[in-house]
């Protein structure tokens, strides 16, 4: 009996041993299969991540092409106006109007752009902007009088207004949260690239006859808008706009292309649907958008003050005057030769473009607010130093060197923070149903202030001198530091829908939450 038991035990042991051996073999096989599956899944995720980033990057680049038009116009007009004045014999007042009218008129495009983009979509609003600008640029190129030149300038301004308003909104709406800041800064990068191209165009074509050179300079501005036609075959419509149109499946399809994993897609989609007010198939029965903007809730009022205020401060610190009238500034400092004047403006353009790239690299790493601190404080110092330099040093070599250093320093600090972050914030902080038209309102403030500064600079400089004018700009820049401290929250790393909740729960952030010490830390880090 015992033997049988032993035999049984032995058989059992053998069976167990054999069974265990087979089990281990199966486990080894399963582990190997799991490892291969994990490796395959990891490889697939990496490939999707690369593909997604390339796709979103392409969308951001193509959406920003309209901004090249604004930058090019700003840059090229600073030099072309010298030759237009000589060829068409326009007065100083006409010169101010010609330069500044683009900013004033572009507010019409920005105002209309918000409503237009809600009706026909973000993508086709960009297409419309390019067409209007092309017509305006063509008329300016062929203009034989100041009046005809103004007609073309007005049309170009409307087109630019549409393009400037819609690009940051579109990019913010298609970008993954982690990269939204750097991608939304692309329009500002392209504005700077356009300014640089405008300066280079001035320098390159200045040797042609006076009747021809400024026409060629303006005509070159048509080229970027041609590429926008090709872009329309590549970029998708904004998923948030699609949700607003109740086209949820199309929105999901776009999100699958612009986000790295399916879980994030579903999370973003549910947030967007909830924000759009059509969750569970219910239509959002809110007040009309403009009625809500004119009679805002406390949270929306905070958003509007922040968005509108930062847009106005971007311009009343004098950046457009610095860019448009850099030849006049350098002439006041002592540079007389036209070629040297235009060469100095190229240096300004290179500086402005180089530093916007630094901002793009840092904005999602260190945040919006530290960059704004560094930017506004640096601009204040440069503007104040420039005003003292022009007033005290006179037209000598030291005066020229200081003027060039301060102008380049001012545009560098502007490009590091106030330039790109202004547009990033206004594309982030507003609720979905109001985003396009509220952003348009911010763009209007930007364009009005830009136009006012551009159209009054020469007259103001004649009244209180160029140095006095830049002292005034330095005071506005100092005020912008206080504005950022008190009224601008940090939005880094938050989804658009989370930022909306941030403004609703105002107690969760305070102007003092981001201390100036963080900006000092950023300077050491850089």
Please check the confidence at residue 339 and state whether its pLDDT lies above 90.
no
Please check the confidence at residue 202 and state whether its pLDDT lies above 90.
no
CATH topology of domain 46-235: Growth Hormone; Chain: A; (1.20.1250)
Please check the confidence at residue 69 and state whether its pLDDT lies above 60.
yes
Q: Tell me what pLDDT residue 37 has.
A: 57
Q: Which residues of 416-429 are buried (b: 16+ CB within 10 A; e: fewer)?
A: bbbbbbbbbbbbbb
Number of helical H runs and strand E runs in the chain? 23, 0
pLDDT digits (tens, 9 = 90+) for 3-19: 444 444 444 444 444 44
Q: What is the DSSP letter of 295?
A: S
Residues contacting 512, CB < 8 A, separation 6+: 485
Please check the confidence at residue 326 and state whether its pLDDT lies above 50.
yes
pLDDT digits (tens, 9 = 90+) for 280-312: 443 444 456 777 778 888 888 888 999 999 999
The mean pLDDT value for 221-246 works out to 82
Q: Is 238 helix (H, G, I), strand (E, B) or coil?
A: coil
pLDDT digits (tens, 9 = 90+) for 478-509: 999 999 998 888 888 777 777 777 777 655 55
Q: Tell me what pLDDT residue 377 has.
A: 96
In whole angstroms, how far apart are CA 23 and each of 13, 17, 76? Answer: 14, 10, 77
Architecture label for domain 291-493? Up-down Bundle (1.20)
Q: Please report which confidence band the pLDDT of residue 48 belongs to, taking 50, 70 and 90 as the band edges.
A: low
Range of weakest confidence among 314-318, 425-429, 510-514: 510-514
Residue 42's CB is within 10 A of a number of other CB atoms, namely: 10
Q: Is 391 exposed, middle or buried (0-12, 13-18, 19+ CB in 10 A)?
A: middle
* 191 against 481, higher pLDDT: 481
Every domain of the chain with CATH number 1.20.1250.20 lies at 46-235, 291-493
The mean pLDDT value for 48-57 works out to 80
Dihedral angle over CA of 77, 78, 83, 89, nearest 10: 80
Q: Tell me what pLDDT residue 498 has.
A: 78
Residue with tokens 């202004």: 422
Q: Tell me what pLDDT residue 380 has.
A: 96
Please check the confidence at residue 513 and state whether its pLDDT lies above 50.
no
Please check the confidence at residue 240 and state whether its pLDDT lies above 70.
yes
**H or E stretch covering 436:** helix 432-487
Average pLDDT, the chain: 79
Contact indicator for 366, 357 with CB cutoff of 8 Å: no
* C-alpha–C-alpha distance, residues 398 and 405, integer Å: 10
What is the Cα 350 distance to its own chain's centre? Answer: 18
Q: Tell me what pLDDT residue 85 has.
A: 86
Q: Please report which confidence band the pLDDT of residue 43 belongs to, taking 50, 70 and 90 as the band edges.
A: low
Q: Please report which confidence band the pLDDT of residue 44 belongs to, taking 50, 70 and 90 as the band edges.
A: low
Residues contacting 234, CB < 8 A, separation 6+: 58, 59, 62
């Amino acid at each position: 009996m015992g033997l049988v038991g032993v035999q049984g035990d032995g058989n059992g042991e053998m069976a167990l041993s054999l069974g265990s051996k087979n089990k281990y073999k199966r486990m080894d096989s399963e582990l190997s299969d799991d490892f291969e599956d994990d490796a395959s899944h990891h490889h697939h995720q990496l490939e999707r991540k690369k593909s997604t980033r390339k796709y979103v990057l392409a969308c951001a680049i193509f959406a920003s092409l309209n901004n090249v038009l604004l930058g090019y116009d700003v840059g090229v007009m600073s030099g072309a106006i010298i030759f237009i004045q000589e060829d068409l014999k326009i007065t100083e007042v006409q010169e101010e109007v010609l330069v500044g009218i683009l900013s004033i008129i572009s507010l019409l495009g920005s105002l209309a752009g918000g409503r237009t983009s809600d009706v026909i979509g973000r993508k086709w609003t960009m297409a419309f902007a390019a067409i209007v600008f092309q017509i305006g640029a063509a008329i300016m190129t062929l203009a034989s009088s100041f009046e005809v030149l103004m007609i073309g300038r007005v049309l170009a301004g409307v087109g630019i207004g549409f393009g400037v308003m819609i690009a940051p909104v579109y990019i913010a709406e298609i970008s993954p949260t982690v990269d939204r800041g750097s991608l939304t800064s692309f329009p500002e990068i392209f504005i700077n690239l356009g300014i640089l191209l405008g300066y280079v165009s001035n320098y390159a074509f200045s040797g042609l006859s006076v009747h021809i050179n400024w026409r060629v300079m303006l005509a070159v501005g048509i080229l970027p808008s041609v590429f926008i036609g090709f872009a329309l075959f590549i970029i998708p419509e904004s998923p948030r706009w699609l949700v607003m149109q109740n086209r949820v499946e199309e929105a999901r399809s776009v999100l699958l292309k612009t986000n790295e994993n399916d879980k994030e897609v579903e999370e973003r989609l549910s947030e967007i649907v909830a924000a759009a007010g059509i969750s569970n198939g219910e239509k959002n029965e809110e007040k009309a958008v403009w009625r809500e903007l004119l009679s805002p809730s406390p949270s929306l009022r905070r958003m509007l003050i922040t968005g509108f205020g930062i847009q106005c401060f971007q311009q009343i610190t004098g950046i457009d005057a610095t860019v448009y009238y850099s030849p006049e500034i350098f002439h006041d400092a002592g540079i007389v030769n036209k070629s040297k004047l235009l060469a100095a403006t190229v240096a300004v353009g290179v500086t402005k473009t180089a530093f916007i790239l630094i901002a793009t690299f840092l904005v999602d790493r260190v945040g919006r607010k530290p960059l704004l601190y560094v930017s506004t404080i640096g601009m204040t110092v440069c503007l104040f130093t420039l005003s003292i330099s022009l007033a005290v040093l006179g037209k000598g070599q030291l005066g020229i060197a200081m003027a060039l250093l301060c102008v380049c320093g001012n545009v560098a600090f502007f490009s590091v923070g106030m330039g790109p972050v202004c547009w990033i914030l206004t594309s982030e902080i507003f609720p979905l149903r109001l985003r396009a038209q509220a952003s348009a309102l911010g763009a209007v403030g930007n364009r009005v202030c830009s136009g006012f500064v551009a159209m009054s600079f020469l007259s103001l400089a004649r009244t209180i001198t160029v140095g006095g004018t830049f002292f005034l700009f330095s005071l506005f820049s100092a005020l912008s530091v206080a504005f950022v401290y008190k009224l601008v929250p940090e939005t880094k790393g938050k989804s658009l829908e989370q930022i909306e909740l941030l403004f609703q729960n105002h107690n969760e952030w305070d102007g003092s939450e981001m201390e100036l010490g963080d900006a000092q830390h950023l300077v050491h880090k850089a």
